[in-house]
Amino acid sequence: MPFFFFFNSENDVKAKILAIFDEFGISCEADSVPVPKGLPFFVSDGKAFFEASVLGQKVLLVSFVGKEVLYQASLKKTYAQMQQLSRHPVAFCFDALTDAQRKSLLENGIPFVSAPSTIFLPFLGVAFRKRKKLVARKVKRVSDVASKLSPSAQAFFLFMLYKVKDGCISKAQAAQMSGWGPMSVVRYSRELAERGLVKEIESGRSIMITCAGTGRALFEKALPYLDSPIRERKKIIRPQNFSSLPLAGECALSQVTQLAEPRSPVAACAPRSPEARIKGIPAEKRSLIDEVFVELQVWKYDPGMFMDDGCVDPVSLYLSLMDSPNERVQAALKEMLENVKW
């Protein structure tokens, strides 16, 4: 299956590439770069190379200047050679594709962008066609960049906010310190970078991560992307190890503000902890006095990771109570944020 290219000049290439990304509101910056070292001349001849930044990820975009015909088998081999020599993921840029050619590229997993408006970058989880029609199973819509963080990415944000602060850390160090796997750290860092909450900086062979702000300013910047950590609330008979769990809810808020302590204790547990498996007691079956029961919050991530003086961390506590209709609670949340030592 032949692929035809008709770009007229390097400037024409760059302009069309940027226009494709702009079609979907994706910010993209691209600069011309030399041919990757070690790439044979017969492979690099007639091609333009651009180092682009797409959603915080460095990408090597390879396009074709002048009219050229390339067959599917050659294209696969060319892609493999370039990917092996490049420090970044590689994607081809096409002036136009037929449906059959597009299908071939998708089936072979070859990243590409094509005029007038097709993007397939599987290493970013991105796949779009004109009118934002999805063309791959595993995709990420542009609107998702403005959506809530995944629970694990939110926990990683807290790690950066509390532990790294204004410092700089490699992804390998982050994995070692946090206990997440290296691939998980890469994924969570990408989620944060897409939303402008962290910056990824190349340093030799490592990718360093630093917060895009500090303290309360960073918290307020992240707030639109953060969600309540609570997955489930239930009333249970106090277990023996209840006191070892971090205090949560109004109980925790009362420890750091002037809010009166609630009658029943509230604690939080991790989603896979033994406590999370305890069945809650329905209201109609609570024949004992209320003081016998305690409230257990099952969180989407481990509340003990950032426990502070026996209580859940202030950001997670704020998120768990920010929708409370109680004016006293809202006033206490404001007081807490003013007193946090970021």
- Neighbouring residues of 122: CB distance < 8 A, sequence distance ≥ 6: 109, 111, 136, 138
Q: Mind listing the pLDDT tens digit for each residue in 182-224?
A: 899 999 999 999 999 999 998 887 889 999 999 999 999 999 9
The distance between the two most distant Cα atoms of the chain, rounded to a whole number of Å, is 83
d(CA 245, CA 238): 11
Element (H, E) at 254: helix 249-256
pLDDT of residue 133: 42
Q: Hey, where are the domains in the chain?
A: 2-145, 151-225, 230-339
Between CA 47 and CA 337 the distance in angstroms is 55
Task: Give the single-character DSSP code of 190.
Answer: H
- Three-state SS for 89? coil
**45 three-state secondary structure:** coil
Q: Which residues contact residue 87 at a Cβ distance below 8 angstroms, ignoring those fewer than 6 apart? A: 58, 60
Low-confidence stretches of the chain (pLDDT < 50) are: 2-8, 67-68, 131-145
Classify 71 in phi/psi space as left (phi over 0), alpha (psi -120 to 50) or beta.
beta
Residue type, 276: A
Q: CA triplet 18, 24, 84: central angle to 5 degrees?
A: 55
Residue 172: count other Cβ atoms within 10 Å of its Cβ.
12
Tell me the C-alpha distance between 41 and 63, whole Å. Answer: 15
> CA 98, CA 4: separation in Å to the nearest integer?
10
State the pLDDT at residue 266: 96
Query: Do you find a cis peptide bond into 116, omega within 30 degrees of 0?
Result: yes
> What pLDDT does residue 113 have?
87
What is the separation of C-alpha 168 from the centre of its chain, rounded to a whole number of angstroms? Answer: 18
Token pair belonging to 29: 């910056």
The whole-number pLDDT of residue 141 equals 44
pLDDT score of 65: 65
The pLDDT of residue 317? 98
Question: Can you give the pLDDT at residue 7?
Answer: 45
Please name the residue that has the structure tokens 């902890």. 273
The answer to whether 249 and 324 have CB atoms below 8 angstroms apart is no
Q: What angle do CA 330, 229, 166 make, to 5 degrees?
A: 85
Core vs surface per residue 259-280: b (16+ CB within 10 A) or e: beeeebbbbbbbeebebbeeee
Return all residues near 305 (Cβ < 8 A) that are at least 6 apart.
Answer: 155, 158, 159
Provide Rg for the chain, Cα atoms: 26
The DSSP code for 131 is G
Task: Tell me the backbone φ, ψ of residue 195, rounded to 5 degrees.
Answer: -100, 5
What is the Cα–Cα distance from 201 to 124, expressed in whole angstroms? 17
Q: What element of type H or E holds 210?
A: strand 206-211
- Residue 61 is inside which H or E element, if any? strand 57-64
What fold, for 151-225? Answer: Arc Repressor Mutant, subunit A (1.10.10)
The tokens for 279 are: 């069945």
The Cα angle at residue 250 between residues 342 and 149, in degrees rounded to 5: 55
Return the ∠ at Cα 325 (arms to 158 and 281), rounded to 5°.
Answer: 80
